[in-house]
Amino acid sequence: MTVDGNRFASSRNAASGRSCRVTITRAEPNALTATVAATAPGAGTPGGSVEFFDGATSLSVVALSGGTATLNTSGLSVGTHSLTAVYLGGTNHTGSTSGAVSQVVNA
């Protein structure tokens, strides 16, 4: 199986207060990493969890560690996948959704 795609996407929650930005990147061929960072006027490292999606299908909920969460994508089927990460929010930060990253899995 080969995987094509090294693009990233990010989105910022427009809610006031301690909003966050979620960025997803291809860390290695079979891993997708979501990085959650506070945006001004927020501060600190967000805690909580990120839920990864393939289109509308939930793949997994992963706890943040140091503002990042990694998903193993080796189980994705052959084809094109539209992957997103949703930060579920934490005690001091609001939730946010990344933009989509396209991943192509070849046989």
pLDDT digits (tens, 9 = 90+) for 36-50: 999 888 788 999 999
Do the beta carbons of residue 71 and residue 107 sit within 8 Å? no
Predicted confidence band of residue 29 (pLDDT cuts 50, 70, 90): confident
Predicted confidence band of residue 19 (pLDDT cuts 50, 70, 90): confident
State how beta strands 31-38 and 20-28 pair: antiparallel
Per-residue exposure over 25-39, b if at least 16 CB sit within 10 Å of its own CB, e if not: bbeeeeebbbbbbbe
Distance of alpha carbon 1 from alpha carbon 30, whole angstroms: 10
Query: Which is more confident, 13 or 91?
Result: 91
